[in-house]
Amino acid sequence: MASDPLSPEETRRYARHLVLKGMGGAGQQALKRARVLVVGAGGLGSPAIAYLAGAGVGTLGIVDHDAVSLSNLQRQVIHSEIGANKAESAGRFAHALNPHVQVAVHAERLGATNVAAIIASYDLVLDGTDNLATRRIVAGACEGRGLPLVSGAVSMFDGQVTVFAPCGPRFGALYPQEADDADLPSCEATGILGPLTGVIGSLMAMEAIKLITGIGEPLIGRVLTYDGKGGRFSEFGF
């Protein structure tokens, strides 16, 4: 698929990508053609949105119905205006960081009735939501359209990231139907260390860029886990 050539300003902006072996002009053009949707502009969505916008993703969609609260600011570092819709706030941040990125704001609650319409314009989805009900809806919609899905999760001092793709195991292989939100600790109840969301959200952006450019080996069928207290990464297959 053809795309507009990089402008002189874009060439300077992405200079470190353009000289990077394995990325180069072809990789940057792939990023410019990409249409990526980030579901949730909170703790995980914040770093993912920042790095995808900075990297030059052509179209960046952001969906979130929630409003920014004071307790969010400890980890949701792209926001500053209390009471603002998170998708709109994140969109303003992304545009200010990189005006070459087309930002599409979906300031609405994603659910079974609108998920198909929302994801229809995208070719890759990142899910940083904090409940299994929404995660299942997103995963099912991505499976139905054959879209890859980058999924991250965090709790207290620990986090994980994986990729669901048409060629790999489905969401249900990792999260069986009997799993329930009531069995999982909530951020409000147990707390969360702010930088942990930065680690996992950045890894989500990394996986998205790998999928877009074809660089490296995405985490398909593998879960990368991070123990923040121990400072250790580990991995398991599913």
Catalytically active residues are 187
Where does residue 121 fall: left (phi above 0), alpha (psi -120 to 50 degrees), or beta otherwise?
alpha
Structure token digits, residue 100? 């070459």
Nearest alpha-carbon partner for 211 in 125, 143, 90: 125
Angle, CA 231 vertex, CA 22 and CA 215 arms, to 5°: 15
Nearest alpha-carbon partner for 118 in 67, 61, 49, 165: 61
Distance CA 218, CA 203 (A): 11
Confirm if 62 and 45 have CB atoms less than 8 A apart: yes
Where b means 16+ CB within 10 Å and e means fewer, 139-165 reads bbbbbeeebbbbbbbbbeebbbbbbbb
User: For tokens 């900075």, what's the residue?
Assistant: 54
Distance CA 2, CA 94 (A): 24
Q: Provide φ and ψ at 21, rounded to 5°.
A: -60, 130
Q: Is the dihedral of CA 192, 196, 201, 207 positive or negative?
A: negative
